[in-house]
Structure 1
């Protein structure tokens, strides 16, 4: 039985990145070893530190080094509004658009039964508890994909059953588009033109 060499292990580890196949991983490994050993060591240290110190915020579920992230602790945010996004990149896009000053809940995915992602994997029970705190409106900012629409529909049913007002960002965004790839003006307009949805 052959054991992997250090180089083989490095190449195999790099393949865990999205879009990185065997050839790309091999090129990256060779580059780091041949041309940028300090960069490789810095990358290894940064990855190790991040994996050890970053977890999910107890309120919004976004990545954070503290139990409650700075955004959730900010007194400048409107606690009566709760925006639900699929991924941290979507939250960053919302913040860059500067069109929203409320709180967030990051699902860390979307409903996708074929991929084994159901309501439990998205921690929807935590979302319902968070929405019940002092929220007047939940804004669904999931992507306009089949899975994003299904996720928004499921959440709408859950929250409307609790008597919580739910709205969905307007479809100024392209159908099939994802928030992280949309310009901030389009996203800002979609948030401003959101409409209430019912279960």
Structure 2
């Protein structure tokens, strides 16, 4: 058994790529000043979370999720104010499940529909890039239908839009710090 087969067995992942979950990852460059600013922060991952979820571009989603939750009560223990994004902190539907110095992973789930996912934000100082990625436990074969293909494309555009909002927020904080 080779290394890949052992990892798949441990994680119980299928060998059929179409049955693997939906995953995306996008990156965007940041200015040298922003990179320097982030490099000298005590909690880069917390700052990434605040910049992502606190950006103007995320605001409509925040309002939508807050309204949806008030009607359907899918997440009874949600917090609507930005947290420090430490391990187990909650914000809206997300819970911080991994907080590394340069990476933040927040998970979410809707038990009623057996849907789970995670949102990731990261910073690579050597490349001067920030990253935003998503994973949802819906098999890719389910998303290959005509309707889902368009939903997946829209989601990718929206994820890039939100990444741009996080970059705008980080660049803005950099400028405020300089002044």
> Is the shorter-chain TM-score for this pair beyond 0.5, marking a shared fold?
no
Q: Which has the higher strand share?
A: 2
TM-score normalised by L of structure 1: 0.21
**Bigger Rg over Cα:** 1
